[in-house]
Structure 1
Amino acid sequence: MEQPQNLDLSNNSLFEDPFSNHSSSSLIILDLSSNNFEGSLPNFPKGMDSISLSKNKFTGAIPLTICNSSWSRIDLSHNQISGEISSCLFNNKMYWYPISVVDLSKNKLQGMIPDTFGTECLLEGLNLNGNQLEGPLPRSLVNCRGLSVLDLGNNQIDDTFPFWLEHLGSLLVLMLQSNKFHGPIRRRHIANSSFESLHIISLSANSFTGHLPLEYFPSLYLKGMYENDDHQTSHSAMPYVFDTFLMFPNKGQALEYSRVQIPKFNAIDLSNNLFDGEIPTSIGDYKLLMSLNLSHNSLVGKIPSSLANLTQLESLDLSNNDLVGRSLQELTSLTFLSVLNVSWNHLIGIIPTGGQFDTFPSSSFEGNSRLCGIQLQIAQSE
C-alpha cells in the first residue's frame, strides 16, 4: 500500500512518542498539534518538510537534532519549552534545505535571539511571541529579505526602534508590542522605501517617546494600493506564511486573523507608550486603515477632522490622552466603525446621535467632564 506524504493527526488525545510510528521516508508533512504529548522534545527525524507539534505539553530544551533536519516549516508553539534558542536554528548552512517558517511562540524560552541569520536566510515567517527573550534585536535579521511576518511581541527585548528592518521589502506584519523598546522613533531623512509593504504594526506597551511616527509607514496609507484590479490581484498573491493565527488587539480584545486575512487587514497600534504632541492631520491619508489605537499616551490638541476620511475604519481608540475640543461630529460618517473609545480626555460638547453612535456604550465617552449626551444620560439613569 502506498504510504502517505501528508499526515494530519491533530486534535486527538495522542500521548506516546510522536515519531515512533511516523518516521516513514515518504512522509513530508506531519501535523501532531493539539494532542497530549508531554515530556522532553524527541530527537527530530530527517526527511520531513513540515512539522507541527504546537499546543501540546512538551518541556525542556529544543534538541540540537533540529539543526540536522530538512524542514522548511517548524511549529513548536504553545508548549512549555525552555532554555535558549540554539545558534544553529537560523543558520541555513546547517540545514539540508532552507528553513522558511519558525513558530516558537507561547513557550518559556530565555536569553537572546541568536544573531546568526546568514546571508542565505530564506525565512518568510518568524514568530517568537510570548517568551522571555531579552537583549537587542539581532541585526543579522536584515539578511532575511523575504521575511513577511515578524512577531516578537510579549518578550523583554530592549532596543530602540529598528529602522534597519525597512530594507525587508516583503514585510507585511511587524509585532513588537509589550517589550522594552524605548526612545523616539525619529531620524533625519525619510526613505522612499520605508517599510513599503507593511500592513500591520503593533508597538504598544513599550517606552517610545516623541511625536507619533506615522510618516515612517507610508505603505499604510493609500498610494493607489487597491485603486485597480491588477494591483489588488498581484498584492493578494503575496505569500501567506503562517497556517496558525496572528493575534492582534482590536475592538477591545485580542482577535485572531488568519493567513487569508492578513493582506486585507491594515492596523496601527501605538498605544501605551510615551508619545506626545498632536495627532497629525495626515492621519486622514491612511484610507485603508481598519484599526487605529493611540490610547494611553500624552497626545494633545483636537481630534483631527481628517479621521473622517478613514472610511474602512472599524475600531478607533483615542482614550486616556489629553485631547480637547468638539471633534466627534466628523466621526459619524464612519459607517463601519463598531468600536469607539474617546474616554478620559478633555472633550466638550454634545455626543452625536444616529448611526453607529447609537451603538456605543457610555464607557466610550466617560471621563470627559464637559461632554454630554444621551449615551451618558442612559448610563446615569440605570
Structure 2
Amino acid sequence: MGRILLVLLLFYFHVNSSTYSPHSSAPLCLPEESSVLLQLKNTLSLDSKVSDSCNSTSPAKTNSWNETTNCCLWEGVTCDNDTAHVIALDLSCSWLVGSLPPNITLVNLVHLDLSSNTLSGVITSELLAELKSLETLDLSNNNLTGEIPAFLCRMGSLEVLDLSINNLGGNIPTCLGSAYQRRLSTIDIQMNKFQGKFPDFASEYLQILALNDNQFEGLLPRSLAKCTSLAFLNVANNTLNDTFPHWLGSLPDLKVLVLRSNRFHGGLIENEIASYSFSSLEVIDLSENMFTGSLPTIFFQNLTAMKSGSIPSPPAPPVTEAASNPNAPVFNCSVGNLYRSCMPDPIYWNYVEVVIKRFPQKLRVSNSLKYRFTIIDFSKNRFDGRIPEVLGELDSLKVLNLSSNHLTGSIPPLLVHMAAIESLDLSSNNLGGQIPPDLVYLASLAVLNLSHNNLVGPIPQGMQFNTFDIDSYSGNPGLWDCPLPIKCKRFPQPPPDPPRITDQDEEDDSQISFSWKAAMMGYGSGVVLGLSMGYIVFTTGRPWWIVRKIERDWQKNVTNWIRRLQGRRK
C-alpha cells in the first residue's frame, strides 16, 4: 500500500511540474512565420569566426532552429503571448556571414537585432518594407556598405536606430533628424565613413546621438538646441571646426557631451557660458582640441550634477514580457534617466567602457564608475591660467584630467573636497608650489599623475600617496622626500675625502691584496642583497628588522670567510 501511495505522489508532482514548465506556457508558433524564419536561416551561412564583442564559445543561435519544434522556443526568437506572432528577433553574435537578406516578412516584428556578425551588402528598402511596427533596428558591427536609405525616415514606429561600426558612407538623409520625427529617440551611426557637413537635427524626441569616428566637417549645427530631450551627444574624432557650443547648455537633460579630437578652438567665454547652466552634465570631454584661455569659474559652478546627492542610484531593470522566455533577447532598460524605451546594450555604457580603457588597469576595476560615472577631460588643449578652486565643490566627480595644457599657479588645496575622485591627472603643465599635503585624504584616489610640472618641496606621505609609482611625480626637479615604498632620488651627498696613502700602506698592500678583492666581492654581494631585500620589503610590507638581521648575519659570515682565507694564505 505504501508503495502505491509513493507512486501516486510522484505522478502528482510530475504532472504539476510539467504544467508550470516554461515551455508549456509558450505560445504555439504560427506555421507561416516559422517558415519565414527557416528561410532566413537557409539564406545565411555560418562562419567559425565571431566578433570580438561576442562570446566565442557560444554556439550559433540558429542551431536550435528546426521545423519539428515550436519556433517560439527557438533561441533568439520571442513571440507575443496572446497572438503568437514573432515580435522580436535577436540574431546578434550568431556567426552569420553573407549578404543581408532581401526581405523579412515578419510584419509584427518590433525588435530586430542582427548585430555583431559578418553581414555585408547595402541596406535596401525591400529589407524593411514589411516591418511597419519595427521600433528597434540594430545592424551594428557588421561589414555593411552604401548609404543610409531615406526609406528609414518613413518608418513611423522606429525609436532606436543603430548602424554603428560598419563601412557605411555618403551623407546622412536630412529627414532623419527633422522635427517631424516623432518617435526616433536614438541614432547611433558611430565608427563609419560618413562625411560632409554635419547634418541638422531638430527633433524634440531625440535623446541619444552618436556620430563620433566619422569624417564630418564644418560647424556643429545650431539646430541641436531644438533637441530639447537630448541627453547624450558624442561627435568625437571628426574634423569639426567650431567654437565651444555654449548654447547646448540650454538643453535641460544633456548628461554627456563629447567633443574630443576635433578642431574646436577659442575660449570658454565667461559671459556666454553664464547664460547657460549645463546643470545636468555628468560627462564633458573636450580633449585633443585647440581650446585656449582660462578655465572660467562660473562653468564649474553650474555643474550641479557633479555634486553630492545629485546623481540618483541606477533604477532596477523592469520585468519585460520577453523575460518569460529564457531564450528571448534581453533589452536593457536600466538607464531610465537616459532612455524612455528599452534598447539592447545602451551606448551610454559603451562610451563609459571606452573611456575607462584609456586609464590604467587599477581604475578599470572600479565598479562604481558604471553607475555614477562623472568625468571632466580638458586634456591636450591650450588652456592657461590657474586651476579654479571651485573644482573642489564637485564632490561626486570621478575623473579629472587637465593634463597637457599651459596651466600655471599652484594646485588648489580645496581639491581635497573631491571626495569621490578616482583619477587626477594634472601632468604636463606649468604648475608650481608644493603638493597640498591634505590630498593624502582622497581615499578613493587610484590614479595620480603630477609629472612634468614645476612642483617643489616634499611629496606628501601616507594613505593613497604611498601606493603611487615614481612616474606620478617625474619631471619635477624640485620635488624630494618621496614616500615609501617607492624608489626615489634623494638629495646627493658629498663624496668622502680620498684616504692618504703612506709608505706603510704601500708595504702592506701586497699582503692584503687578496683579502681586499674578497672583501670587495663580499661588499658588492651585500649591496645586491640589501637592495633585493629592500625591494621585497617595499613590495610585501615585511618589517625592516628582519632585513637588518639577515644582512648583519650575512655580512658576518662573509667576514669570517675572508679571515679563513687569509689564514690559509699565511
| Range with bigger deviation, 293-302 or 43-52 | 43-52
2:277 to 167, 189, 194: 194
1:113 to 198, 206, 209: 198
**Cα distance between partner residues in 2 of 1:348 and 1:155:** 40
- 1:108-156: per-residue Cα shift (whole Å, max 9, x none)? 11111222x34x5310000001111100011111111000000111111
Q: Is the 8 A contact 2:307 2:397 kept in 1?
A: no
**Cα distance between partner residues in 1 of 2:364 and 2:104:** 31
1:28 to 110, 116, 126: 110
Q: SS at 1:122's partner residue?
A: coil
Distance 1:50 1:234, change over 3 A: closer
Distance 1:169 1:221, change over 3 A: closer
Match status 1:243 vs 2:346: yes
- Gaps in structure 1 of 5+ consecutive residues: none
Q: CA deviation at 1:83?
A: 1.2
Match status 1:322 vs 2:430: yes
Find the counterpart in structure 1 of residue 497 from structure 2.
none
| Range with bigger deviation, 218-227 or 354-363 | 218-227
Find the counterpart in structure 2 of residue 362 from structure 1.
470
**Cα distance between partner residues in 2 of 1:87 and 1:256:** 39
**Cα distance between partner residues in 1 of 2:415 and 2:151:** 53
- Gaps in structure 2 of 5+ consecutive residues: 1-28, 30-83, 316-334, 490-530, 536-570
Distance 1:7 1:297, change over 3 A: same
Q: SS at 1:150's partner residue?
A: strand
Q: CA deviation at 1:18?
A: 3.7
1:122 to 205, 214, 219: 205
- 1:198-255: per-residue Cα shift (whole Å, max 9, x none)? 111000111111101352244534787517xxx8479985233771311453585399
Match status 1:132 vs 2:228: no
2:96 to 4, 9, 14: 14
Q: Which amino acid aligns with 1:112?
A: K
Counting only pairs closer than 5 Å after superposition, residues 58-77 of structure 1 correspond to structure 2 as 58-70=144-156, 71-77=158-164
Distance 1:41 1:66, change over 3 A: same
Find the counterpart in structure 2 of residue 172 from structure 1.
255
Find the counterpart in structure 2 of residue 253 from structure 1.
359
Q: CA deviation at 1:66?
A: 2.0
Q: Is the 8 A contact 2:170 2:193 kept in 1?
A: yes
Q: Which amino acid aligns with 1:67?
A: C
**Cα distance between partner residues in 2 of 1:251 and 1:316:** 16
Q: SS at 1:37's partner residue?
A: strand
Q: Is the 8 A contact 2:97 2:118 kept in 1?
A: yes
| Range with bigger deviation, 136-145 or 262-271 | 262-271
| Range with bigger deviation, 78-87 or 170-179 | 78-87
Distance 1:326 1:225, change over 3 A: closer
Q: SS at 1:78's partner residue?
A: coil
Q: Which amino acid aligns with 1:151?
A: N
| Range with bigger deviation, 48-57 or 191-200 | 191-200
1:282 to 390, 414, 417: 390
1:42 to 121, 124, 133: 124
**Cα distance between partner residues in 2 of 1:98 and 1:256:** 36
**Cα distance between partner residues in 1 of 2:488 and 2:104:** 60
**Cα distance between partner residues in 1 of 2:172 and 2:484:** 52
Find the counterpart in structure 2 of residue 87 from structure 1.
174
- 1:278-320: per-residue Cα shift (whole Å, max 9, x none)? 1011111111111000000000010000010001000000000
Find the counterpart in structure 1 of residue 459 from structure 2.
351
Q: SS at 2:248's partner residue?
A: helix
**Cα distance between partner residues in 2 of 1:127 and 1:318:** 29
Q: CA deviation at 1:375?
A: 6.4
Identity of aligned residues (%): 39
Distance 1:218 1:64, change over 3 A: same
Q: Is the 8 A contact 1:172 1:263 kept in 2?
A: no
Q: Is the 8 A contact 2:165 2:190 kept in 1?
A: yes
Q: Which structure has more RCO (C-alpha within 8 Å, separation ≥ 6)? A: 1
Q: Which amino acid aligns with 1:240?
A: Y
**Cα distance between partner residues in 1 of 2:425 and 2:299:** 21
Q: SS at 2:174's partner residue?
A: coil
Find the counterpart in structure 2 of residue 271 from structure 1.
379
Question: How many pairs align?
Answer: 373
Q: SS at 2:475's partner residue?
A: coil
Find the counterpart in structure 2 of residue 205 from structure 1.
288
Distance 1:213 1:4, change over 3 A: farther
Hey, which of these two has a bigger chunk of strand by percent? 1
1:141 to 203, 208, 224: 224
- TM-score computed with the length of structure 2 as normaliser: 0.61
Larger Rg: 2
| Range with bigger deviation, 233-242 or 200-209 | 233-242
**Cα distance between partner residues in 2 of 1:294 and 1:18:** 46
Q: CA deviation at 1:264?
A: 1.8
Q: CA deviation at 1:189?
A: 5.9
